[in-house]
Structure 1
Amino acid sequence: MKTLLLLLIFFSLTTFAQQKTTIPFQLTEYNNLSVKAVLNQKDTVQLMFHTAANAVTLTEEVLQKITSLKFDRTDSVKSWGGNDNTSRFSKSNTLQIGSLKWENVPIWENKNSGQHTDGKFGLDLFENKTIEIDFDKKILIIYASLPSKTKRFEKLKLSFQDEMMFVEGNVAIGNNYYKNKFLIHSGYAGAILFDDQFVATNKLGEQLKVTDEKQLKDSFGNILKTKKAIISNFSLGKIKLNNIPVGFFEGALGRQKMSIIGGDIIKRFNIIIDAKREFIYLKANKLKGFVYSNV
C-alpha cells in the first residue's frame, strides 16, 4: 500500500510538471505574432504577443467596434517616441486566450499596434510559467515547468529588468566585433535597432553604409526616422546570422536608450523562456535562412 501511495504521488507530480497549454498564432508579413482573444465573453480581437510589453492594450480603431469595455479614467503615459500621450484605462475585464482565462484584467487604449492586430499583450499574463514560441508549428506553449526538450536548444543567460528581457549579442562590422545587450522585442517588425550610445561609442556611423531611411511609429503615433544599413553577421551564443539589416540614429538624440532585436530576428528561432526569466533557450528553425523583410 505504501509503495502504491508513493507511485500515485509521483504520478500526480509528474502529470502536473508536464501540464501545458497550446495557443495557435499567425505570423504576419510584418513579423508580428497575432493571437485570437475574447474580451468579457463577448468581443473577439486579434492581439499581438509582445515580448517587451507588460500590459494589455487595444487600439483606438478596434475600440470603436467593441461594446463590452467600459473606461474608468484617462491617464498620461510615456512611450518610446514621446511623453505627451494620453490613454483611456479600463480597470477590470475578463480575457480568454485559448483555454486560459484571466479575471480583473486592466486594459489601456493605444493609437497603434502591430499591423493586422487590434492590440497587444505581454509576458505578464504568463507569470511564473515557462513559455515556448514554436515558429515551425506556429504555436505558443505554456508550461508549468521547464520541458526536457531544452537539452536540444542553446541556453543563454537573460537579464530581466523592468519586466523586459535582454540577451547579449555579438555584432560584426567588417573586421570589428562588438558585444552589446539587446532587448527581445517582438513588437518591433525589423531585425536589429542599435541604441544611440552604442552607435556613438563605437563610431558606427562612420563604419556603416546607409542603404535607406525608414519611419518608425510607436503605439501613440509618434514618428522617428531611422537610418538603415547591413552588418556582416550577428550571433546569439553559437548561432550566427549573416548580412542582417540594422537601424540606427545619428546625432545627439539620446532617445534610443536600448538596442533591440525584433521580429525579423526572433522568428528565425524556436524559443523557450524559463519561468523565472533567467534563461532563454534558442534553436534555429526553418526560417533561419529566409530573406530579411523590408520593414
Structure 2
Amino acid sequence: MKALNYQKIQGNIARLTLVIIFIFSAAWNSFSQVKIPLIKASSEKVVIKDGAHCRVDWKLDPLTKPDTYFVNIPSKKSTVVFKTNQEELTLATEPGKSYDFVVLLNNRDTCYVRISAQLPPDLPSMDSTLQYPIRIPFRLIGSRIFLNGSINKKEVSIQFDLGAGTGVVNRNSSERLDLSFSSFTTVSNTEGVNSERTSLENQLKIGSIDWKGVSLTEVGNMKSHEDVIIGNSFFRNHIIEIDYDKMEFVLHRDLPLKTSVYKKLPVFYEQNRPKFQAVIRHNNRQYDFWFLFDTGRDGTMLLGEDFTGKGNIWSELTPLTVINNRKIIRLDATIADVEFKDIVTNAADPAKPNGRSSLFGNQILNHFNVILDNKAGFLYLKPNGRTKEPYSNYESYLNQIPSSIKKN
C-alpha cells in the first residue's frame, strides 16, 4: 500500500487554487471592461432604420427604462441604425437577442434604449398544440372578409382586417358580450383620434384556434353585422393564406410549396400591419411607394399624406374634383405585375394631416389569392378567379357624379 505524499497534495491544491483565482479574476476584469454603448442627442426625435425598407420615427423617453424598440421582422437577422440629430449607432441583430445602449439627451437626461429581436410580449397568445394547416371557411360582405367565432364562449361575427392595428369590438356588441373594461387605448380611425375603453384578458376562438389574454378596444365606427375586428397581430409568428377561390382562410406553420407560382414581394410592418410596394401612374408620371395591405377597407385605395407630402407630389396631382380638402384623382396601378386601370380614389392634403397611411383596399386586393409569411417578411400574390370583378374606376365615377360636376 502506497503512502500518500500530503505535502505534494497540498502543493497541488495551492496551485489549483491560484489557477481558479486567476480564471475568475480574468473573467471579472473582462466583464468589467464591457461598456454599454453611449451616443448623444440634443433633440428627442430619432430615426430608426430597420433592414432595407423599414423607417420609424422614434421619440426618446428618459422615464422608460428600458425604452424598447422591437425589430420589425425579429425572426430574421437585421441591421438596425439608431440615428439621433448628433450621432448614430448601428447594430447587427440576431433572432432572440436584445441590445442595450444609452442616449445622453441634452447632456443631462439619460435614456436607456433596448433593441429587441423578439416579438412584443403583449401580442395575443395562441394555442401551440394545433395541427397544421388549419382551414377555416370565410364569407365576403362587400369586399371584406368575415369569420365565425366566439368571445368568451359567446358567438360573434369577426372581420379579418390586415389593416387593423389592434383588436376592436363594436360598441353596440359590448353589452351582449358582457365585457368588462379596465383600461383605455388611443385609437385613430374614421372617428378621429380618441381614447377608448379596453377590455383585457378575453378568450377568442375561431375554428380550432384559441387565443388567451386578448385585449379588445371598443369603437363606434363598425357596422351592425360586425362584432369584432382582428388583424395581423394575432398571427405575427405564423403564415396565413387567404384563398378567395375556395373561400378559405388557412393557417400554416411552414411555407406551402405552391408559393413557387406566386409573385413574391417583400413586406415590412407598421403596427403589425403589412406594407408592400406597388406602382401608380398619374399624368404620365410613375410613383413607386409602400402601401398598407388593407383587407379591411371596402374600397380601392387611399393616398395619405405620407405619399402626398413627398416632394412636389401634391401639386402634381390633377383632381377630377375636390371634396372636403381631398383631391379626387384618376390613376393606374400595378400590383405584382397585374395592372388596374382608371382607379378613382382620394388624396389627402398634406397641409391638413389626419395620420392616415396610404393603402390599397380589398376591392383591389381580393383579385389575388394571398399568402403572407410573417416569419420571413414576404407576401405572395397570385391572380384568382375574381380578376374581372369590378372596382371603383373612372367609368363608375362618371355614372355616379352629378351632371353639373361632369361639365366641369
TM-score class normalised by the smaller sequence? 0.7 to 0.9
* Larger radius of gyration between Structure 1 and Structure 2: 2
Matched, 1:35 2:147: yes
In structure 2, the partner of 1:163 is 272
In structure 2, the partner of 1:77 is 186
Larger RCO: 1 or 2 (CA < 8 Å, sep 6+): 1
Would the alpha carbon gap of residues 39 and 17 (structure 1) be closer, same or farther in structure 2, given more than 3 Å must change? closer
Distance in 1, matches of 2:306 and 2:215, equals: 35
Matched, 1:182 2:291: yes
In structure 2, the partner of 1:216 is none
Structure 2: which 5+ runs fail to align? 1-128, 398-408
Distance in 2, matches of 1:90 and 1:261, equals: 30
Distance in 2, matches of 1:39 and 1:225, equals: 40
Matched, 1:154 2:266: no
* Superposed CA offset, 1:207-265 (max 9, x none): 4332574xxxxxxxxxx77443321x211232222222222123611224521111111
Would the alpha carbon gap of residues 255 and 117 (structure 1) be closer, same or farther in structure 2, given more than 3 Å must change? same
In structure 2, the partner of 1:52 is 163
Matched, 1:229 2:341: no
Matched, 1:127 2:250: no
Matched, 1:208 2:339: no
In structure 2, the partner of 1:20 is 133
TM value normalised by structure 2? 0.60
What amino acid does structure 2 have at the position aligned with 1:56? Answer: G
SS of 1:106 mapped into structure 2: strand
What amino acid does structure 1 have at the position aligned with 2:182? Answer: D
In structure 1, the partner of 2:349 is 250
Distance in 1, matches of 2:191 and 2:390, equals: 32
% same residue: 26
Q: Which moved more, 1:105-114 or 1:172-181?
A: 105-114
* Superposed CA offset, 1:11-62 (max 9, x none): xxxxx99920111111112x21111111112x11111101022432111111
Distance in 2, matches of 1:230 and 1:258, equals: 19
- Structure 1 contact 37–96 (Cα < 8 Å) conserved: yes
- Structure 1 contact 134–270 (Cα < 8 Å) conserved: yes
Distance in 2, matches of 1:61 and 1:17, equals: 33
Structure 1: which 5+ runs fail to align? 1-15, 214-223
Question: How far 1:97 moved relative to its partner?
Answer: 0.4
In structure 1, the partner of 2:78 is none
- Structure 1 contact 157–278 (Cα < 8 Å) conserved: yes
* Superposed CA offset, 1:52-96 (max 9, x none): 2243211111123223x22224x1513145765232222111111
In structure 1, the partner of 2:381 is 282
What amino acid does structure 2 have at the position aligned with 1:58? Answer: V
Distance in 2, matches of 1:47 and 1:191, equals: 22
* Superposed CA offset, 1:140-186 (max 9, x none): 10001100010110001112233121111101113211111101112
TM value normalised by structure 1? 0.81
SS of 1:109 mapped into structure 2: strand
Would the alpha carbon gap of residues 227 and 115 (structure 1) be closer, same or farther in structure 2, given more than 3 Å must change? farther
SS of 1:104 mapped into structure 2: strand
Distance in 1, matches of 2:335 and 2:223, equals: 25
1:61 equivalent among 172, 183, 186: 172
Q: Which moved more, 1:105-114 or 1:131-140?
A: 105-114
- Structure 2 contact 265–380 (Cα < 8 Å) conserved: yes
Would the alpha carbon gap of residues 132 and 114 (structure 1) be closer, same or farther in structure 2, given more than 3 Å must change? farther
- Structure 1 contact 194–260 (Cα < 8 Å) conserved: yes
Distance in 1, matches of 2:387 and 2:224, equals: 22
Distance in 2, matches of 1:127 and 1:152, equals: 24
Distance in 2, matches of 1:28 and 1:202, equals: 38
Matched, 1:272 2:371: yes
What amino acid does structure 2 have at the position aligned with 1:228? Answer: I
In structure 2, the partner of 1:9 is none
